[in-house]
Amino acid sequence: DSIESFVQDTLKTGKNLNDKKMVDILTKNSRDAIYWLNDEINVDLSNVVLLGGHSHARTHKGDKLPPGFAIVSALTKKLDGFQAENPDQLTILKSSTLTKILTEGNKVKGIEFTDSEKQPQEMYADNVVWA
């Protein structure tokens, strides 16, 4: 297997409609991301299997959980722990719906959202991540 083979598989699967810069980032950084998830977040991705769209076995998964669930669960746990220890540095909004990204010029300044009680809210921050 090689990065170039990974690139070609990704482009073929995407019918060459892919953002080439994003394909480059994905294919060149996936190995380090797997190591980081294993070493820093403790996600088991020790099995490497061949799945559709790939010419080589390169999909990582663990023994017990689907990889997406394992990754999201571990990252959520890590972020929840960070927020508990650093409540002034991170706010996680669960059961909320993003309704508008607030900008000033070309910079994101905050968000409008409805909270878990369906009430409109605004929040301003230097950095915003929504998922």
Q: Identify the burial level of 43 via C-beta atoms within 10 angstroms of its C-beta, where 0-12 means exposed, 13-18 middle and 19 or more buried.
A: buried
pLDDT digit string, tens, across residues 49-93: 999 899 999 999 999 999 999 999 999 999 999 999 999 999 998
* Domain span at 101: 93-131
Do 102 and 76 fall into the same domain? no
pLDDT at 30: 95
In 3D, which of 123, 52, 118 has the Cα closest to residue 92?
A: 123
**The pTM is what?**
0.73
Do 60 and 110 fall into the same domain? no
Do 64 and 109 fall into the same domain? no
Do 76 and 36 fall into the same domain? yes
Do 79 and 98 fall into the same domain? no
Do 99 and 80 fall into the same domain? no
Identify the H or E element spanning 69: helix 67-85
The count of structural domains within the chain is 2
